[in-house]
Chains A and B, each alone.
Chain A
Amino acid sequence: NAGVMQNPRHLVRRRGQEARLRCSPMKGHSHVYWYRQLPEEGLKFMVYLQKENIIDESGMPKERFSAEFPKEGPSILRIQQVVRGDSAAYFCASSLNRGQETQYFGPGTRLLVL
């Protein structure tokens, strides 16, 4: 049973470009969370999605960031016009249901903006 997959593992972008981060949840999981970790800090919640629905995006910056979790395919976190401050590790986690269910994390995507 494959775990949570994230790709790419490393992504380098120049300022102003777009970054697309993909997250394939564990098989059967329909709940996905995205987190950002800045250097030397903890994980910061960004967005919680179920299939085709954004449930809570209160942790997402209002501009340039968007997320989706389509009926088919991976969840995508999209960052437009990246800036140096977007450099971070981005983790997604999936769970079977909402509630007291274990969240399984992917290995993360390390984004570096030059």
Chain B
Amino acid sequence: DQQVKQNSPSLSVQEGRISILNCDYTNSMFDYFLWYKKYPAEGPTFLISISSIKDKNEDGRFTVFLNKSAKHLSLHIVPSQPGDSAVYFCAASGDNFNKFYFGSGTKLNVKP
């Protein structure tokens, strides 16, 4: 039962351009959403989060947008840098934060 889905397994972007990574979810009870970045042979690293009471959260080059009616969130990276090349996971949790559901990841390649 895949409650969080990332339908694009990979994305290739030119350095300096915008990277847009998408994520869909099915459970309307999800209350908190996060994005993680993962390099090979390492654990995921937290990037940015958003609560369901907001529709946008920004941190430097990273912005997360939440569309609750569409059950969709996206991560924008502007401008993209080669060091951003990694696998990006979105995750979601209900308001008890007992468990977090992860998408299958999108592999971003930023070309110099």
Q: Which of B39-93 contact A (CB under 8 A)?
A: 41-46, 49, 51, 89, 91
Q: Are B97 and A99 in contact (CB under 8 A)?
A: yes
Chain B residues lying within 8 Å of A105, measured Cβ to Cβ, are 36, 43-45
Scoring A42, A45, A106 by chain B CB atoms within 10 A of each residue's CB, the highest score goes to A42
Residue of B nearest to A92 (CB): B43
Partner of B89, one of A33, A40, A42: A42
Query: Which residue, A33, A40, A105, has most C-beta atoms of chain B within 10 A?
Result: A105
A99 and chain B: residue at smallest CB distance: B97
Contact between A91 and B98 (Cβ–Cβ < 8 Å)?
A: no
Q: How large is the interface on B (under 10, 10 to 19, 20 to 34, 35 or more residues)?
A: 20 to 34
Complex formed: what's the CA distance from A67 to B51 in Å?
Answer: 30
Query: Across the two chains, which residue of chain A brings its CB closest to B87?
Result: A42
Min distance, Cβ A63 to any Cβ of chain B, angstroms: 20
Write out the residue numbers on chain A whose beta carbons fall within 8 Å of the beta carbon of B105.
42
Q: Which residues of A contact B99 (CB under 8 A)?
A: 33, 45, 48, 56, 58-59
23-60 of chain A: CB within 8 A of chain B: 33, 35, 40-45, 48, 55-56, 58-59
B102, A44: Cβ atoms under 8 Å?
A: yes
Instruction: Report A-chain residues with C-beta under 8 Å of the C-beta of B4.
Output: 42
Q: CB < 8 Å: which of B32, B42, B89, B100 contacts A107? A: B42
Which chain B residues in 1-28 approach chain A with CB under 8 Å? Answer: 4, 6
A42 engages B41 (CB within 8 Å): no
Which residues of B are found within 8 Å of A14, using beta-carbon distances? none
State how many angstroms separate the Cβ of B9 from the closest Cβ of chain A: 8
Q: Could you say which residues of chain B place their CB within 8 Å of the CB of A101?
A: 97
Chain A residues near B (Cβ < 8 Å): 4, 6, 33, 35, 40-45, 48, 55-56, 58-59, 91, 93, 98-108
B-side residues, CB < 8 A to A, are 4, 6, 32, 36, 41-46, 49, 51, 89, 91, 96-105
Known pairs A48-B98, A105-B44; list 12 more (Cβ under 8 Å): A35-B102, A40-B104, A42-B6, A42-B89, A42-B105, A43-B91, A55-B98, A99-B97, A100-B51, A102-B46, A102-B49, A108-B41
